[in-house]
Structure 1
């Protein structure tokens, strides 16, 4: 490859990472919005449903994709968390103890509760994540002897989230599949003994796109879950508010990666067009007397969501309004209603 093509590829990866950071922030923000607007119990139920849905959709196919579906259940489950999170840029440690016992540890800083967000996350919400995903891996594998023992939670002031998968000698009842043992501590991590992705099938371009998609997938799951859980009206408010808050905070960061700048409607229309491209969506832009119209032909993130509801589009409406406010004052953003809330989505900037 030439130096020019290398630079172009690095620039593409920077754009993908900016999109990942934006959607990562949106997902974390969405949980905090539910905590502050609806309370801990609703936030915990929301997180449980998001992670259970992800687990049901991603876990078994992911084991095959990673080439670890042949391993003993406890080892396969732990290695899945180690490798899949590593792809998404989440720091996780894996420690094998036996075929029936394997540890995972999420050391600080925690990806999902980035920065100061961790101060606003109740322990019950973090436990809901474990109930939604980790506690259900045995059921997904068809082995009800497999459970997860949590020994630490970072949101409780401990030095990370950690625990181990354990295959018992008897089937577990549902309330036995996640238990806590705070008196125990994970062994030290040794990178030399940890599993690794096969380099040939996971070259850097694939890893960079997977890094972007990892964060986006959480929003793809969270939006329809929120609509089903809270109803379209309440979900619309929460999805839109979160998007606006996050967009205002992240414009500069995303714009820098997209080689864009602050300004007026012209600059924001160019920014939005670049953002669509960075998330693999197609848009066409037309201009008339200082007003820009962007016709978004695709929203790949929500393409195959079976229970998609028009309220899910409030994710984009909120984000774009917030990003516009970060770009400059008095930039109007309006989405023309469409049948079923599906593309083409027509955005007026002016």
Structure 2
């Protein structure tokens, strides 16, 4: 196997920095809702995000991963194993029978990275399972398929785990997710787990998929936030989360982009590098210490039918926070179109 050249390695490093930034943003967004609106609203938000992801991604993902021919329980479990593995999530898969297959997310949990896990109520974690895992049977056209959760890491157990099981009869809505805390998953055998075909999943494709995996959550979460809480409240929460995460993550992202701290000039250069790492096109002009960056594309929200102008608060908050991390008193102003879609004009001073 030929080793990647340094330029390719540097690109992958930039992609991973983008993934880490959006990963942190998504986790932070859930915590912002927990702390600003309470557990019930946070659980409803998480449920809607994961249900939307499931409806948009599950069946196409089965096809892309070559799993559509498998029995429902096995297909569902292998989907979670492979798709999460691509995104850098710690995950395990254990086959028991054609009607029963386990999935396990051992610590550390990807979605509740670091100390964030201490701020996640059990109800919010259960909402994720209700949104996605409990609905896979419905998506597959087999309502006999349900998910049995045996552990939840946010409840102090050693991971999130459970199994897909195909019952003898169709399940009612409240039977599609049940809990059996007295059971425990079998041990993981990596040699027996499914693997992606190397020929169709070379490293460049995996690296880009790793980046896109994290970004996809924000792409889904922003419009869900607006639809659930309304543009004003959602815009505030999206902006606040972005600012907090941007301030915390500037140093990490800047290091991957080979940038440093400084003033408006350095931040404008940083922002252009970030656009490139996100696959966005941008043009910069300068006049008397002020930099104008015309963002010609925003691939994150491209083709999102219900993209509301308030969704642009994601970028506004992130960029303000990143600017604060870059240096004191760097001004950032967004002039957005009425639709909130590109071109977006940024003024940095």
Equivalent residue, structure 1, for 2:176: 177
Separation of aligned partners in 1, 2:310 and 2:183:
45
- Aligned: 1:90 with 2:71: no
Matched, 1:348 2:332: no
| In structure 1, distance between residues paired with 2:339 and 2:9 | 37
Contact 2:336 2:343 survives alignment (8 Å): no
**Correspondence for 1:318:** 317
Aligned to 2:228: 229
Does the 8 Å contact 2:144/2:171 carry over to 1?
Answer: yes
CA distance in 1, matches of 2:71, 2:209: 26
User: Unaligned regions of 5+ residues in structure 2, if any?
Assistant: none
Q: How much does 1:112 deviate?
A: 0.0
List structure 1 segments (4+ residues) > 3 angstroms apart after TM superposition: none
Counterpart in 1 of 2:108? 109
- Does the alignment pair 1:128 with 2:127? yes
Cross-structure match for 1:260: 259
Matches within 5 A, 1:201-220: 201-220=200-219
Matched-pair contact (CA < 8 Å) for 2:336–2:342: no
1:2, distance to aligned residue in structure 2 (A): 9.3
- What's 1:196 paired with? 195
Name the counterpart of 1:55: 54
Q: Which moved more, 1:89-98 or 1:333-342?
A: 333-342
| Cα distance in 1 between the residues matched to 2:193 and 2:108 | 20
Per-residue CA deviation, residues 56-112 of structure 1 (Å, 9 max, x unaligned), is: 000000000000100000000000000000000001100000000000000000000
Query: For the residues of structure 2 that align with 1:49 and 1:2, how far apart are their CA atoms?
Result: 43
What whole-Å deviation, never above 9, does each CA across 1:222-257 have from its counterpart, x for those lacking one?
000000000000000000000000000000000000
1:17 corresponds in structure 2 to 16
Q: TM-score, normalised by structure 2?
A: 0.99
How far did residue 337 of structure 1 move?
Answer: 2.9
Distance 2:124 2:336 in 1: 35
- Give 1:338 deviation, angstroms: 1.2
Secondary structure, in 3 states, of the residue corresponding to 1:339? coil
Rate the CA distance shift 1:194–1:2 in 2: closer, same or farther, 3 A.
Answer: closer
RMSD value over aligned CA atoms? 1.0
Q: Is the 8 A contact 2:319 2:332 kept in 1?
A: yes
TM-score (norm 1): 0.99
Mapping 1:296-315, distance limit 5 Å: 296-315=295-314
Residue by residue over 1:262-315, the C-alpha shift from the partner in whole angstroms, topping out at 9 and shown as x without a partner, is: 000000000000000000000000000000000000001101101110000000
Deviation of 1:339 (Å)? 2.4
Partner of 2:147: 148
Aligned length: 349
1:148 to partner: Cα distance:
0.1
